[in-house]
Structure 1
Amino acid sequence: MESQFPKVLRFFTLLWVVTAIGLFAGVFVPVSLVMPISIATVVLLLIVMFSRAARKASKSISILFAFLTGVTLYSLLQFYIGALGGSLVLVIFGTTAAIFIVAGIIGYNTKRNLGNWGKFLFIVLIGVIIFSIITIFVGFSDIVMVFASAIGVLLFVGYTLYDMNQIARSYISDEEVPLVALNLYLDFINLFTELLKLIYHLKNILDRD
């Protein structure tokens, strides 16, 4: 059981290498294609998470997902670097990494079984997704967005604790390694984007004062 954890970490690292390649490729992707690619990444994620047949190809699908995420991440980073500055975005990334590592260590080493967190985290996740869809069509104040982003940060810290705890307590087959690594990858990516949103809207509030 424990011997599979290094395999998860290696695949997790591979996903980030592929993301970096996608980030570089994003330089050459027209802005008009970013939204279709974003939709494609969501579709891929749903397929690999809910299709048993697709799970047999989870390694390839996860790698493709990471590449497309890198492509869309380029446009996202362009926006936040323009709004916050490259140095602050780098600090936020470093903060994300620190939070992720600390939460991961705590989740992996705690003697408490966090398995009962799953349903609650999933319910909150659905709420965050629904709110994110609403924000596409309805504008909210920066104060509302700060609270929403704070909830998002807490959610993905919770998911990091939960996922690492389940890795420590569950048997992971070779077939499941890509999916487990993908879960950790999603925890980090989403934590990073929620922190970016949180700081962005906080800055907007402070700039008005």
Structure 2
Amino acid sequence: MSFDSPSRFPAREQVLVRGASDVERRFMSAVYRWMTLGLGVTALVATAVASSETLLLAIVGNRILFYGLILAELALVIWISAAVNRLPAAAAGGLFLLYSAINGATLSVVLLVYTGASVGIAFLTTAGTFAAMSVYGTVTRRDLTGWGSFLFMGLIGIVIASLANLFFRSDMVSWVVSCAGVLVFTGLTAYDTQKLRAYARAGGGAAAAPVSGALSLYLDFVNLFLSLLRLFGNRR
């Protein structure tokens, strides 16, 4: 019978830690790749629709089609999130890219309402803020789990206020919602990043998990971008 020398345990622990770090790194790399691909598809489709009078009239000019696309977006988000443990990676990726394309079509009006300079500045500001908060979610030793309930309540409040403002059309409510959106989605970026890394470290092995994670961060990015654009963007 042989026994491991106590001096060998630290080395073994280092191997385990290194292995966990590699798994986490590969998982997050896949998440960011999918997220970047989704943003690229959204940008391309939004530009294509905004540049085509025919497509623009077909989508934005038809209320039934426009709201049908929005409902399709909601259905896809729910589907991907709910079926993450059952969907094959390829199917989840296809659904995510379909969602990104539909979102690009519905967001094409943004390119018409705001100046190109405003869109560009808002995008760069969003990218910088997102990167900073994602890094914070990675390096901080603080457990951000406690943020979840507050951020979720803030998100529900934003949704309710936005729906109510469809009828009241108050500039003040719109401004407050946009400010709240910046705070909530900035916080969600750090929160979701830490949550995804914890999932990877815990050995979460669902094939579609990187796509589901990419969807979460994609939504944080897009909603932060829209909130900043509404606050600081110049209309045409």
| TM-score normalised according to structure 1 size | 0.85
* Cα distance in 1 for residues equivalent to 2:168 and 2:152: 24
- The letter of the residue matching 1:94 is L
Q: Check if 1:5 corresponds to 2:28.
A: yes
What is the match of residue 35 of structure 1?
67
- The letter of the residue matching 1:58 is A
> Contact 1:150–1:198 at 8 Å: present in 2 too?
yes
What is the match of residue 207 of structure 1?
none
Q: How does 1:79-90 map to 2 (within 5 A)?
A: 79=113, 81=114, 85-90=115-120
- The letter of the residue matching 2:28 is F
SS in 2 for 1:116: helix
Number of corresponding residues: 197
RMSD, aligned α-carbons: 2.1
Question: Per-residue deviation at 1:53?
Answer: 7.7
Residue segments in structure 2 that go unaligned for 5+ positions in a row: 1-22
Question: Per-residue deviation at 1:21?
Answer: 3.2
Q: How does 1:21-170 map to 2 (within 5 A)?
A: 21-26=44-49, 27=52, 28-29=55-56, 30=58, 31=60, 32=62, 33-51=65-83, 55-56=87-88, 57-79=91-113, 81=114, 85-140=115-170, 142-170=171-199
> Contact 2:182–2:228 at 8 Å: present in 1 too?
yes
Residue segments in structure 1 that go unaligned for 5+ positions in a row: 205-209
Q: 1:72 to 1:194 in 2, by over 3 A?
A: same
Question: Per-residue deviation at 1:51?
Answer: 4.7
Further displaced range: 20-29 or 128-137:
20-29
Further displaced range: 104-113 or 14-23:
14-23
> Contact 1:108–1:167 at 8 Å: present in 2 too?
no
* Cα distance in 2 for residues equivalent to 1:184 and 1:111: 20
What is the match of residue 187 of structure 1?
220
- The letter of the residue matching 1:128 is I
* Cα distance in 2 for residues equivalent to 1:77 and 1:101: 24
| TM-score normalised according to structure 2 size | 0.76
Identity %: 33
If you compute each CA radius of gyration, which structure gives the higher value, 1 or 2? Answer: 2
* Cα distance in 1 for residues equivalent to 2:160 and 2:35: 28
